Amino acid sequence: MSITAEVNHHGVFLPNPLTYDGGICTTVTDINFDNMEYPDLMKYLVKLTPGLVKKVYYCISNQSLARGLRFLMCDVDFKQCLADGHENGGRIVLYIEHHDEDIMDWIAEELSEDVIIEDDEDEDTEYEENDEPLLDDISFEHESDDEKISTKTIHEDEFLNKLCGNTNVTEHRPDGQLFPIHDPTLEWKRMVPICGMRFQDKEELKELLTNYSVANGFDLRYEINDKERVLVRCGKPKKNEQECPFRLWASWMSNERTLQIKSLETNHTCARIFHGGSLVTYKWIAKHFTKEILEDPTISTRKMQADIETNFNLKASTGQCKRAKRFALEEIEGCLEDHYAKLWSYAAELKRSNPGSTIKLDVNAMPDGKNYFNRFYVCFKSVRDGWIEGCRRVINLDGCFLKGVCRGELLSAIGRDANNHMYPITWAVCSVENKDTWKWFMELLMEDIGMVVGGGNGLTIISDQHKGLMEAVKEVLPQCEHRQCARHIYANFYKRFKGVFFKKAFWNAASSTTEDSFAFFMNRIKEVSVDAYNFLVDKACDAYENGVSESFNSAIVHSRARPIITMLEEIRLFVMQRTYTLKEKARKWKNDVCPSIREKIKDLNKDQRYWGVYPSGLQQFEARYKNQAFSVDIGEKTCSCRAWQLSGIPCLHAVAALAHLNISAESYVSLW
């Protein structure tokens, strides 16, 4: 049903009885008022009625002006007006007041002899026992101001209680009175205090006042703020300055557990402020920035300050933003003690939702009967099975620091998938990285991947030079090949032996695939410095650095600053999403060989044309270029450069031999 509006303008209100005299009535039928908001209505009325529009009122259908007139001052009032119009045949009647008369005061005088209560300088005024019940519990200690302020106050009369404000959220009391109830779901910009409005507690009232203050730039302050009452004024005038007349008084109702605004003066004469006043706290900022902080936990205080100034026209301090961010994260993630207390339940839920997975929680039992967190191990069955079925037998071990309030270490075992990218296998949180924790971690890892028997025979471990880790590998995996990460070796090497020569010679030696090549570059180092030669103890291999572990640590760097359960969940989601993404990409691949490996072979195919190939037996060839020569055995998948054996990918010489036979090198890539 569309709304027809009768707009009465260019007239004057006359009191006793209240009438609108000498005006013009304009009927508006071509406007969709339902899609309008209060500011849109005001703009339209200003255009419709040339001249100054002071105030706008509407009248409830089938009511006299004295009993049906309502003041339109916000979206809530306008929506109530439209709702009344729909209930009464799609017609609303609007009145425009051009002279700024106190119409509501006239209405109050017409309907009741005691609506406006003026402050009396005599603080000892007493009230009789038969006074209105809503005024029984009002303390007038705050009424001893020197000046007299005319203040709207709630009254027992039914109409006057309706006059206190129009809101969609109302409640009918047994005695027939109707007071507005604060709606905390209302948009913060639209929250305004209304005389008679009721709240479940002081926090709701304070939230409304803060939103009202920020939306309008008012410098509200609490003059009285205790368990029973609240007195709010606007600004603190300097000497010889007039105080802003705004004044709000609220206290608990006598006959129910409800906080109510008992008196209110809404007029303001103050200038706008931009600092937010004392009402804006870090908790208020945190509440309004929860979404932004949740989406970007690393958001800087400078970015927060800029966003607050843009969104709220408010200047917040660095300290407020820091406390707001910390409070919001605590609200989102829960306090740290709660996280550690819930680890047993978290472990049980992981086991329930991931059957066959290994989840271990280890605690330290104290003599006082309390248990303290020690370490937590996670290995999901689907991830573990994926590594066993499809990945090469190379595992990178590394530990990194946690960055949150509770310090500790995150240990991880990372493999390489068929596309030569990182493949997280298992991870654990511990209080400290030492031989004991690494031994505990590797024993669980070997049990999960089924390599307990044999002491790690056939397995290659790559790690940094952490002493506890190296000792643990010797005990748990005595038969494995333990490689040192070349980057960690070079970092220590660089501290003593600086220079471009040492850098290039080191990396040439580290990337050598043959003993002769390795010895050549090591001898060059020895010729320059015997000490540098003796320092280097690492041996060459195809994978000679711990890059995949560093990549994993970098990918979860922000998670490492979160409380433990949040961190573990973010790691789980990261691994789950990465696994899913890999599977989705793999479905689209048209070849058995992964893209990064195909790119490597494509580059080798370009360079193999410079090599001459000479058959020397059944599937045996010699590849020559200038003064270099290497023997290739296609059947055994070997080359004397050893790169094919180390990487599982045909080397340059093997690619040249396969091209001589017109065979694709991709068909000779190892299955893993």
pLDDT tens for residues 107-118?
877 776 433 333
Query: Is pLDDT larger for residue 350 or for residue 301?
Result: 350
Q: Which of 460, 462, 442 is nearest to 547 (CA)?
A: 462
- pLDDT-derived band at 51, boundaries 50, 70, 90: low
**Greater model confidence, 333 or 154:** 333
pTM over cut 0.75: no
Cis before 237? omega within 30: no
On the question of pLDDT at 171 being above 50, the answer is no
Select the more confidently predicted residue: 166 or 359: 359
Q: Are the beta carbons of 577 and 569 closer than 8 angstroms?
A: no
pLDDT of 169 reads 40
| Separation CA 510–CA 539 (nearest Å) | 7
Sequence-ordered list of residues with C-beta below 8 angstroms from that of 429, at least 6 positions apart, any chain: 375, 376, 402, 408, 409, 410, 411, 564, 567, 568
Please check the confidence at residue 397 and state whether its pLDDT lies above 70: yes
283: pLDDT strictly greater than 70: yes
One DSSP character per residue, 166-203 reads --SSEEE-TTS-EEEB--TTS-GGG----TT-EESSHH
Q: Are 349 and 569 in contact (CB under 8 A)?
A: no
pLDDT at residue 295, rounded to an integer: 67
562-579 mean pLDDT:
88
C-alpha–C-alpha distance, residues 28 and 228, integer Å: 49
62: left (phi over 0), alpha (psi -120 to 50) or beta: left
Question: Which residue type is seen at 176?
Answer: G
Query: Which burial class, exposed, middle or buried, applies to 627 when counting CB atoms under 10 A from its CB (0-12, 13-18, 19+)?
Result: exposed
How many other CB atoms are found less than 10 A from the CB of residue 589? Answer: 12
Least confident range from 135-144, 199-208, 299-308, 406-415: namely 135-144
Cα 169 to the center of its chain, rounded Å: 32
CB atoms within 10 A of CB 197: 25
Q: How confident is the model at residue 545 (pLDDT cuts 50, 70, 90)?
A: low
pLDDT tens digit sequence for 330-369: 776 666 778 888 999 999 999 999 999 999 999 988 888 8
Question: pLDDT value at position 176?
Answer: 46
pLDDT tens digits, 506-544: 888 888 877 888 888 888 888 888 888 887 755 434 445
In tens, the pLDDT along 612-671 reads: 999 988 889 999 998 889 999 999 999 999 889 888 899 999 999 999 999 999 889 888
The first and second tokens of residue 248, run together, are 């709000």
Taking the C-alpha atoms of residue 142 and residue 156, their distance in angstroms, rounded to an integer, is 22
Determine the Cα–Cα distance for residues 261 and 241; give it in Å rounded to an integer: 28
Tell me what the pLDDT averaged over the chain comes to. Answer: 81
- Predicted confidence band of residue 272 (pLDDT cuts 50, 70, 90): confident
How much is the pLDDT for 449? 92
Q: What percent of the chain has pLDDT over 90?
A: 21
Kind and range of the H or E run holding 57: strand 55-59
The answer on pLDDT for 413 being more than 90 is yes
d(CA 124, CA 146): 15
